[in-house]
């Protein structure tokens, strides 16, 4: 009799284990069937990099020496005019033109670099600008105000320059180069 009791005990244990596995499996399937849908609420927005010249809507053109500065649109500064060269002091004209920009976007930006697209050989250009983070609505002022130093000899000259700005992350991974 002890052998039959041992066999019955083993069969009961096996039945309990199999039954437990079936019940656990059914609970998992029942959970999967019960939770068959997933609701997600998401929001995606694209921020805007909005750099423009500050004075582009001005009725009057700026004057620097003999140069007239106008703004055909908010992204373009046009410099025209004649500069008198004093032959006794130098053979080149040297003019400093302030670049007034404003961040109209909704993300902070920083001036990354500039690129001279086109110019004639007798013009020397130097953009002087400290890297400064421009928050939305800000424009650089005081000592950090960028300016363009133009040196040119006698005659007509042309140049085209691009100012390249990039997004500047301030919190959580702040960096700007």
pTM over 0.75: no
Residue 177 is predicted with a pLDDT of 45
Tens digit of pLDDT for each residue in 75-97? 888 888 887 777 777 778 888 88
Do residues 47 and 104 lie in contact, with contact meaning Cβ atoms separated by under 8 Å?
A: no
Is pLDDT above 80 for 172? Answer: no
> Average pLDDT in the 109-128 region?
86
**Whole-angstrom Cα distance, residue 139 to residue 109?**
11
Tell me if 102 sits within 8 A of 138, measured CB to CB.
yes
Nearest-angstrom CA–CA distance, 78 and 72: 7
User: How far apart are the C-alpha atoms of 147 and 156, rounded to whole Å?
Assistant: 21
Query: What are the pLDDT digits (tens) for 39-61?
Result: 788 887 777 888 888 877 777 77
Q: How far apart are the first and last CA of the chain?
A: 87
> Can you give the pLDDT at residue 175?
46
């Amino acid at each position: 009799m002890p052998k039959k009791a041992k066999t019955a005990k083993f069969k009961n244990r096996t039945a309990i284990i199999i039954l437990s596995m079936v019940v656990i499996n059914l609970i998992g399937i029942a959970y999967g069937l019960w939770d068959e849908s997933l609701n997600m609420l998401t929001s995606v927005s694209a921020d805007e990099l909005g750099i423009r010249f500050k004075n582009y809507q001005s009725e009057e053109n700026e004057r620097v020496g003999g140069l007239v500065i106008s703004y055909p649109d908010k992204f373009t500064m046009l410099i025209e005019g004649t500069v008198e060269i004093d032959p006794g002091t130098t053979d080149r004209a040297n003019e400093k033109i302030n670049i007034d920009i404003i961040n109209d976007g909704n993300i902070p930006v920083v001036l990354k670099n500039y690129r001279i697209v086109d110019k004639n050989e007798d013009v020397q250009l130097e953009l002087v600008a400290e890297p400064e983070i421009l928050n939305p609505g800000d424009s650089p002022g005081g000592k950090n105000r960028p300016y363009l130093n133009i040196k040119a000899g006698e005659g007509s000259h042309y140049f085209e320059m691009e100012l390249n700005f990039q997004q500047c992350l301030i919190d959580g991974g702040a960096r700007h180069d």
